[in-house]
Chains A and B, each alone.
Chain A
């Protein structure tokens, strides 16, 4: 296996004919299969399909007709994003056997640029978790490549884990509802980019919560993650929540540090000392390179973000998950009993524990008599929380906070946390997600032996500013 190249370097070598896409893909698949025995980053490795794509790419390269930005690049995809003909289960037993008949829009865009889709990555069932510990019934938990007794983070755990582990150019198409790109990027020491809500099409995404879900990218560097995000962004008529803005040339941006950066003081409180120290050190470096770094508080988001997020996300997910009933796709049981009995039987054995907990919470929050007190109140609170962010962006270009309050914990430590304690771990990532704001997690050092990520957040549709700031962080810390 060669030294790890950036995506641009890799594609350049492929175009020059110095790397055979077919041979490279064979090596990549072999490494993925070997590492998966211990690390479980993939729910499915799509060997046959990947080799077929590689052969097709080689044929096009020979004729000189392929100019793709991701030519020959092995790309992994979170399990909740539909890939035609490859079992797509969102990490859930209830979608066992589901073979999408179409590609999600993001997959079509990546393929059009020459990407080779190598498999579906492990995740918390439907995205319901912070540690990729809440995998569906019969699934394995992905292991942190730096220490297999620890979590990769969640819910896009396999995407971040394999990006950190792989010794070749690789990036992953991931998805965030409340922090599921930033958190695993932070725990695995890679870069996660989550766009503005609506910047990337959700067509073909197996929904968790419609008003929160965002497809984004995970890469070994800011440039890699930005290039993949550039490729998958843009308006899509198939997604009614897709924004009209076209894709931005994110991968050609240069670093810039002359930003006004607001440090979210209340998000630092409660973080481990090592996490605080690494994040402050990074911000000090940024300041030395010309950034104006000042503290700011977002008290409403800090205090009410978690409650508003979980009420809204569980309410939306409980309606989305109502479609899984063992009739049209996924898990099937023997048809017996009336429809209520049959649907209940399939759902009771197909959903894992956390999925059931969130369905119950969400159903409760939407039920007659409770809807106004819980769901609607959370939606109104969201308006206030978004307003607080908007006022902050009148003063600052970027906001900064630790991505996670801790470095990657062990599975034993996670097992001791109650569900509410686990939800509270999302304090730093949930507010930006609730407000649909673009954000990045960039590795800034380590707490003990595990990586620490700093999260930058920009105003809606300010991805260029976000990427320039993330590039600056990476550059000043080198």
Chain B
């Protein structure tokens, strides 16, 4: 894919194998070779099509993180019902002494 620039002049780097593997590593996905070969041209096609958004002048717009205006909601800082420790652990196979058992950190 050729390099593109946004209306602001900032360069968009090409989506290549190296970038795909970096994204996959960030997303904690091990891609098989055949997946890389399949996904790379597909993602290039999709992102080229989505590049159409660059035509749109959004310089005066605020982002709509929600479709409707939302009010902040807070509740009384008091204890409510929550899962028991036993229930919280009910859906895991990896537990020990009332805690989740995870993989090694280091």
Contacts and interface: CB of A to CB of B under 8 A. Distances in A.
Contacts of B66: 197, 211, 241, 436
B24 A304 contact: no
B50 A311 contact: yes
B68 interface: yes
Contacts of B79: none
Interface string A118-130: 0000000000000
A420 to B, nearest CB: 5
Interface stretch (A34-42, A50-58, A186-194, A357-365): A357-365
A369 B46 CA distance: 19
Contacts of B92: 327-329, 332
A97 interface: yes
Interface in B64-106: 64-68, 70, 73, 75, 83, 87, 90-94, 100-106
Nearest to B20: A360
B58 A381 contact: yes
Contacts of A325: 28
A435 interface: yes
Nearest to B51: A307
A379 B62 CA distance: 8
B23 A436 contact: no
Given A338-B103, A347-B28, A347-B29, A384 B91 contact: no
A308 B13 CA distance: 20
A336 B101 CA distance: 11
A340 interface: yes
A339 B93 contact: no
User: For B26, B42, B73, which residue has the most chain A Cβ atoms within 10 angstroms?
Assistant: B26
Interface in B21-55: 23-24, 26-31, 35, 39, 42-43, 45-47, 49-50, 52-54
Contact of A336 (B6, B31, B45, B103): B103
Contacts of A360: 20, 23-24, 27, 29, 39, 43
Contacts of B101: 335
B96 to A, nearest CB: 11
A351 B29 contact: yes
Contact of A367 (B23, B56, B100): B23
Nearest to B74: A240
B23 A300 contact: no
Contact of B100 (A212, A303, A327): A327
B81 to A, nearest CB: 10
B3 interface: no
Contacts of A304: 52-53, 56
A340 B25 CA distance: 9
Contacts of B31: 348, 356
A367 B26 contact: yes
B104 A338 contact: yes
Contacts of B15: 364
Contacts of A386: 64, 67
A341 interface: yes
A65 B32 CA distance: 59
Contacts of B43: 357, 360-361, 364
Interface string A83-122: 0000000000000011101000000000000000000000
A10 interface: no
Contacts of A306: 49
B23 A373 contact: no
Nearest to B71: A244
Given A196-B68, A361-B46, A381-B53, A335 B103 contact: yes
Contact of B67 (A101, A342, A367, A436): A436
Contact of A310 (B19, B35, B46, B90): B46
A343 B100 contact: no
B17 interface: no
A430 to B, nearest CB: 12
B40 to A, nearest CB: 10
B46 to A, nearest CB: 5
Contacts of B90: 99, 101
A413 B66 CA distance: 35
A321 to B, nearest CB: 8
A435 B94 contact: no
Contact of A384 (B19, B39, B45, B61): B61
Contacts of A170: none
Interface of B: 6, 10, 12-13, 15, 19-20, 23-24, 26-31, 35, 39, 42-43, 45-47, 49-50, 52-54, 56, 58, 61-68, 70, 73, 75, 83, 87, 90-94, 100-106
Given A198-B68, A311-B50, 8 more contacts: A307-B50, A332-B94, A338-B105, A342-B103, A384-B56, A418-B45, A420-B42, A436-B66
Minimum-distance CB pairs A-B, first 4:
A436-B67, A379-B63, A329-B91, A380-B58
25 contacts: A101-B90, A198-B68, A212-B67, A241-B70, A306-B49, A322-B27, A327-B94, A328-B91, A328-B92, A328-B100, A338-B105, A341-B103, A342-B103, A344-B30, A356-B35, A359-B27, A376-B63, A382-B63, A382-B67, A383-B61, A384-B61, A418-B42, A420-B49, A437-B67, A460-B67
